[in-house]
Amino acid sequence: MLESIMNKEGRYLLCSKKYGRPLFAGAWLAPLTTKKKKEEEERNGEGDEEGEVFPKEAQEGVVVLAGGGGNQRNGVPNSLLLAEYDFKSTLLTDALDTYSTGDDTPLRLAAHPAGEGVVCSFEKDCRLFEVLRESSGDLNVRVAEREIQVLQGVGEQNCLVFSPDGIRLAAGGDDGHLLVIEWGSFKVLFDKPEAHKSIKDLDFSLDGAFVASTSDDSACRIWDVASGTCVSSLPSVVGEGMGFVRFSRDCNKPLLYVTVRKRGNGFVSAFDTSSWKQVASRKLQEDPISAFSITRDGRFLAIGSSEGDISIVDTSTLSVCQKLKRAHMIFVTSMEFSPSGRAILSVSADSSARVTPIEPRRSGSWQGSLLLLLIFILSTLLVIVGEDVFKKWHEGRSSESFLSGFFARLSSFSDLNTRGHDDARLSP
């Protein structure tokens, strides 16, 4: 049965769904608290060690989606939706719960890495939601009782992002206003009204001490949260545009990845965070990059294109290791890796959400290829020695000089194959 629903590239279509409205944001949720446990915590005023426990796959597979069509009179609903992805069957469910937001279209999402709510931006403000799992296993999304007062009336936010440890939340406004608040207390830690003309993307460094921001019309800037100052500005080039930004998750070799648009092509550049100098840049997409993400362990980047393509990039080589063309009908609006990094969630204005499993690295495949190459070389050597060496010997040529020439050609052949293998591994 599964074979009948596979596309030409052999990828299952079960992992993609249409949700009846343009989707602008999507996020994976941390393991969920049951409603019963939540009520006990609220009643006792503290966390309870006991509660319903669900399989790890079920806990990790819950996603929240956001989208809509503006005024309800248009007939396209504005809402937050919950769905669930099964890593074993690669099945993405239909909406399991829906929360209507009336005439307000949800535009951006940020899910707390420890499960302490979902922040959603609208045209005029940001709201906090919580997602619970009923004792029966059913999912439920609702507005949280607490409000983030500092984000009330701030206007449309183009980006919301938590620090890796969940201690801080950054919000980047369409008006260029950059805010960083302490999670829980909602105390303002950083407030820069004119960080840019308009903020496009944000990301925290691994320790949460720095925030990188980008804008379509200016350079990428790096801010020290504690001092409130700009510590570096990556210069933009005329005719090029910086788009999305992600800090690496490697504390030993910290880098900053920035997407760049050059002549309509999508590049990713890497900058050393100690000197802020560019150390690598590579063309990864023939179309502009419209979405960007990084795994929590920093092994992979993901890029979504204006044509709906999805690419997985190995950060160790900055090369594409997996690509799915036309994953969506039109541009990818948002994407995020699952907490374990086993899959990438992508959404699009074509109303679709898709979960693409990350193909495991083929460790050892090059060893197998090398073994086959050696067998081929030895077989070729035996044939040539048996048919040609003695013939040349009788013609008066030195067998030693002949074998030397043969092994020289063999060495060139080996070098050529090695270069070809490396080129194949590094090319997009």
* CATH tag for 2-357 (out of 2.40.160.20, 2.130.10.10, 1.10.10.10, 3.40.50.1240): 2.130.10.10
Residue 365's pLDDT is what? 43
pLDDT digits (tens, 9 = 90+) for 34-54: 655 555 555 555 544 444 444
pLDDT at 413 > cutoff 70? no
pLDDT digits (tens, 9 = 90+) for 94-115: 999 999 999 999 999 999 999 9
Section 16-33 average pLDDT: 93
pLDDT digits (tens, 9 = 90+) for 131-148: 999 888 899 999 999 999
Q: Alpha-carbon Rg of the chain, whole angstroms?
A: 26
Q: For residue 330, give the DSSP letter.
A: S
Mean pLDDT, all residues of the chain: 83
Residue 402's pLDDT is what? 44
Task: Tell me the CA end-to-end span of the chain in Å, nearest whole number.
Answer: 33
Residue 10's pLDDT is what? 42
Q: Give the whole-angstrom CA distance, residue 63 versus residue 325.
A: 23
Residue 54's pLDDT is what? 44
pTM of the entire structure? 0.79
Whether the CB-CB separation of 186 and 228 falls below 8 Å is answered with: no
Q: Which residue has the higher pLDDT, 12 or 233?
A: 233
Q: Give the whole-angstrom CA distance, residue 229 versus residue 424.
A: 44
pLDDT at 409 > cutoff 90? no
Whether the CB-CB separation of 311 and 303 falls below 8 Å is answered with: yes
pLDDT digits (tens, 9 = 90+) for 159-187: 999 999 999 999 999 999 999 999 999 99
Residue 414's pLDDT is what? 41
Q: Which residue has the higher pLDDT, 336 or 399?
A: 336
Residue 41's pLDDT is what? 55
Residue 373 three-state SS: helix
pLDDT digits (tens, 9 = 90+) for 237-256: 777 889 999 999 988 889 99
> Would you state the structure tokens that stand for residue 110, as one six-digit string?
């940020």
What percentage of residues in the chain have a pLDDT greater than 70? 75
Whether the CB-CB separation of 266 and 247 falls below 8 Å is answered with: no
Section 214-230 average pLDDT: 92
pLDDT digits (tens, 9 = 90+) for 269-282: 999 999 999 999 99
